[in-house]
Amino acid sequence: MKSTGSGVYSVRFPRLYRPTWVEIDLEALRSNLSRFRRKIGKRPEILFVVKADAYGHGAVEAAKAALSSGLVSCLGVSSVEEGAVLREAGVRGPILILGSLYPFESTLAAIRYRLTPTVASLDGARLIREAERRLKPVERRRLPLACHLKIDTGMGRIGVRGASSRAIIDFLKETPGVSLSGVYTHCPRAEDDAAYTRAQLRRFTKIVSALDVPCVHAANSAAALRFPESRFDLVRPGLAVYGLMPGFTPVLSLKSRVVFLKRVPKGAPISYGGVWRAKRASRIATLPVGYGDGVPRALSGAGKRSSVLIAGRRCPIVGSVTMDMLMVDVTGIGSVDIGAEAVLIGRSGSRSIGAGELAAAAGTISYEIVTGLSARVPRVYRR
Ligand SMILES: Cc1ncc(COP(=O)(O)O)c(C=O)c1O
């Protein structure tokens, strides 16, 4: 990791050769965590969800920043691979794999990396028993293997239905080397359907009250903030900590610089397909960022669909977004020069563009925008 001065760090490249980068404000991440903690109270522990490379923010850096705040007691990933990346970077503490494990070699890998698997079916529990039997004597030191049981109360993705949870718990209790340390569910409609979520939480409460498991959890960001009864022993925020919900500070910015400027006459077509033509004599700037970096092609500007900020002014994207570049209309914005900073997500002067705004213009959700920022875009960390 190299310092480039004034507290800015880039993990992948010592300097930027192509002026397009993602900026991550780790201080904002920590202050979002404190704000989240204040809102949910002292009791529930926080599992910070860092799957999909911490929603595009960089899993290792986000996880380390969150753990160093002392506000987070465990991490959530979606796969053995994601957990292994954290372990190999020296991240300690419990890491729950939120996805179901398949096939059973992945259970062995989970044990070797000291990850906590999710059991979502009796078959899953059997795989864990089988994996435990195949451990080499030296690997038995890693036992007992903690695991969490996933109960489906209305998400319809993975998880056992309430009635069969008892049988799986009994099976796991009889499995040597395994300890069932948690039971959880997921609330898919916490943002938009209070009645559905409350009914789900009632069902879940009824199921877990008959079980004797130390850690019960159900809440993502929206559920934890909106439904106190969802907090149980632990909550699992992602979105709020990344500042992608109202009331929290965005952690991620996507920035680039003008690399080419030209004047075009009225009627000039811009980019593939000629879908955009200048309605007047125009000044067009080219930015070295495109759909290969994760800027959705759906933002292609046939009209004033989406814009970037240059010197605090909105400049509409014009013509199709290409793989590596896009064009913006800077007519009448006098201060624009080669090298001018362009903000696709983030703040410039008094204006800002959130991932949510970009998502709405592209017909998607902010999760997809930030997780879609590709690996070729260097992440630069501000501490
Ligand atoms: C099981 C589970 N818990 C928690 C979260 C975090 O959700 P959010 O980012 O909305 O807080 C996710 C995210 O998809 C998830 O799949």
Domains of the chain: 43-235 (3.20.20.10), 252-382 (2.40.37.10)
pLDDT score recorded for residue 304: 54
Residue 46 beta carbon below 6 angstroms from any ligand 1 atom: no
Distance CA 146, CA 122 (A): 16
Summarize the confidence of residues 93-114 as an average pLDDT: 89
Summarize the confidence of residues 75-92 as an average pLDDT: 97
Q: Which atom of ligand 1 is nearest to the CA of 190?
A: 10
Residue 28: both structure tokens together = 């904002």
Task: Give SS3 for 50.
Answer: coil
| d(CA 58, ligand 1 centre) in Å | 17
Q: Which atom of ligand 1 is nearest to the CA of 367?
A: 9
Residue 183: both structure tokens together = 């039971």
Other beta carbons less than 10 A from residue 186's beta carbon? 24
Residue 369 beta carbon below 6 angstroms from any ligand 1 atom: no
Residue 373 beta carbon below 6 angstroms from any ligand 1 atom: no
Residue 14's pLDDT band (cuts 50, 70, 90): low
10 Å CB burial of residue 324 (0-12, 13-18, 19+) is middle
Residue 292: both structure tokens together = 């290969």
Q: Please list, in sequence order, all residues whose beta carbon lies within 8 angstroms of the beta carbon of residue 6, skipping any fewer than 6 positions away.
A: none
Q: Which atom of ligand 1 is nearest to the CA of 240?
A: 11
User: Mind giving me the DSSP string for 244-267?
Assistant: -STTS---EEEEEE--EEEEE-TT
Amino acid at the residue 220: N
Angle at 11 (CA atoms; ends 4, 114), nearest 5 degrees: 145
The verdict on whether 51 is a catalytic residue reads: yes
Residue 9's pLDDT band (cuts 50, 70, 90): very low
Distance CA 342, CA 240 (A): 26
Query: To the nearest 10°, the Cα dihedral for 230, 232, 235, 239?
Result: 10
pLDDT score recorded for residue 365: 97
Query: To the nearest 10°, the Cα dihedral for 55, 59, 61, 65?
Result: 80
Q: Which of 300, 346, 304, 303 is nearest to 326 (CA)?
A: 300
Q: Which residue lies with its CA nearest to atom 7 of ligand 1?
A: 220
For the range 226-231, what are the long-range contacts, defined as Cβ-Cβ under 8 Å and sequence gap of 24 or more? 226/190, 226/191, 226/194, 226/197, 227/187, 227/190, 227/194, 227/197, 227/198, 227/201, 229/198, 229/201, 229/205, 230/187, 230/190, 230/197, 230/201, 231/40, 231/41, 231/43, 231/44
pLDDT score recorded for residue 332: 87
**Helix axes of 80-88 and 105-112: crossing angle, nearest 10 degrees:** 20
CB-side neighbour CA atoms (13 Å) of 191: 9
**What's the first-to-final CA gap in the chain, in angstroms?**
13
Strands 2-3 and 8-10, by their bridges, are: antiparallel
Per-residue pLDDT tens digits for 187-227: 999 999 999 999 999 999 999 998 889 999 999 999 999 99
User: Mind giving me the DSSP string for 299-357?
Assistant: G-BSSS--EEEETTEEEEEEB---SS-EEEE-TT-TT--TT-EEEEEEEETTEEE-HHH
Q: How many residues does the chain have?
A: 383
Distance CA 296, CA 323 (A): 10
Per-residue pLDDT tens digits for 285-304: 999 999 999 999 999 875 55
Return the higher-pLDDT residue of 44 and 163: 44
The pTM score is: 0.94
Summarize the confidence of residues 4-20 as an average pLDDT: 63
The verdict on whether 272 is a catalytic residue reads: yes
Residue 253: both structure tokens together = 């910015």
Mutate to test the pocket of ligand 1, among 236, 242, 245, 252 (most ligand atoms within 8 A of CB): 236
Residue 4's pLDDT band (cuts 50, 70, 90): very low
- Name the catalytic one among 51, 55, 113, 150: 51
Other beta carbons less than 10 A from residue 273's beta carbon? 11
Distance CA 158, CA 165 (A): 13
Q: Tell whether the model's pLDDT for residue 3 goes beyond 80.
A: no
